[in-house]
Amino acid sequence: MTTRPPLSVRPDLDGAAPYVSPQFPARYRMNTNEAPYPPPEALVHEVADEIKAMTLNRYPDSDASGLFEAVAKHMGCPREGLWIANGSNEVFMHLFLAFGGPGRTSLTFEPTYPLHTLIPRIAGTRTVQVQRDGTFAIEVADALEAIERERPDLVIVCSPNNPTGNVEPRATVEALLGAAPGLVVVDEAYGEFARPEHSCIPLLEDHPNLAITKTFSKAWRLAGVRIGYLLANPALVAELARVRLPYHLSAITQVVGEAAIRHARDTLDMVRAISEERDRIVSELRARSITTFPSSANFVLFEVPDPAATWQRLLDRDVLVRIYTGVPGLERCLRVTAGLPEETDAFVNALDQALAAA
């Protein structure tokens, strides 16, 4: 049996590792930033009833008209300035299929979400990385110098940033918008956990080169459904239709998304409880003299002297967190997702035992 594929991968993808989020058996899975609470029961019942009535042998609404109208109304934006896809990762893929590709360049600020580099690369886009400062903030002078030097077609900002948790001031984003020759894309996947004044949505009206991505996976408690969306200038959004696949939003996805909007108040009601657990985790870590980094997301990044051993000791005690030993600047870091109070209890207890064992 051959061990080589019949055709080699594209040369520009040689060495590109697939994105993985390692899963291991553990009672407390606190490594993927999922919401710990299921969606409201009333939402689940409504969706079940609607699915029973579906004609699943027929294609869904290719334009997902009901879902687009519901999200646009909820966000207070024009329907023409909205794009929806299967998770915000697919939104990014559509962006780079349409506006990236051979001969074009994207710019990221590291460390950040790995798919912000991988997706452009998959789409054939040249990628340039600029390091964040010691607090993981974007250093404006460095960013502007890189924009002047590289002339990137797309600049990607993650705020709150994953995996560090910090938000970028609007002034920083405005500086990038003023200097960038192309688009500035702000990923606000964790925006609901930050203060409203940190969102860049108010900048959309005066900046046609701004696009903002959001998701139903975190605060909306629907990671298993895969819904993400983009807010941008209608002229930009119109171009994305060129690269989407036919019927890309399933009938079930559309039904769940519309139900989530109908139950928006109840669905988003747990954001405060999750944020309180995040802040509790920070307090517990600092009480143990462990370095933490300010977070406006639903997770906490922290440093320990021996992250690999600590990670394993936590897993041995049924607590799974994320480890970043291979990421420049994060070599001593672990990241834990804020969850249920009992999950915080389990994490803190396991951490005490892990530290004692060290």
User: What is the rounded CA–CA span in Å between residue 263 and residue 261?
Assistant: 5
Residue in 229, 241, 192, 236 with CA at minimum distance from that of residue 210: 236
Q: What is the pLDDT of residues 160-203, one digit of tens each?
A: 999 999 999 999 999 999 999 999 999 999 999 999 999 999 99
Give the distance, in angstroms, between the CA of residue 57 and the centroid of all CA atoms in the same chain. Answer: 33
pLDDT per position as a tens digit, 279-307: 999 999 999 999 999 999 999 999 999 99
- Answer yes or no: is pLDDT of 22 > 80: no
pLDDT more than 70, % of the chain: 99
Q: How far apart are CA 192 and CA 214, in angstroms?
A: 9
**Mean pLDDT over the full length of the chain:** 96
Q: pLDDT digit string (tens) for 35-77? A: 999 999 999 999 999 999 999 999 999 999 999 999 999 999 9
Digit-coded pLDDT (tens) for 95-109? 999 999 999 999 999
Is it the case that residue 354 has pLDDT exceeding 90? yes
DSSP one-letter string for 339-350: --HHHHHHHHHH
- Which residue, 164, 289, 224, is CA-closest to 44? 224
Q: Give the contacts of 123 (CB within 8 A, at least 6 positions apart).
A: 93, 96, 97, 100, 101
Q: Considering the entire predicted model, what is its pTM?
A: 0.96
How many whole angstroms separate alpha carbon 191 and alpha carbon 91?
Answer: 16
In order of their start, the domains of the chain are 22-39+269-357 (3.90.1150.10), 41-262 (3.40.640.10)
**Taking each helix axis from N to C terminus, what angle separates 271-287 and 341-357, rounded to the nearest 10 degrees?**
20
Q: Are 94 and 244 in contact (CB under 8 A)?
A: yes
Residue 1 pLDDT > 70: no
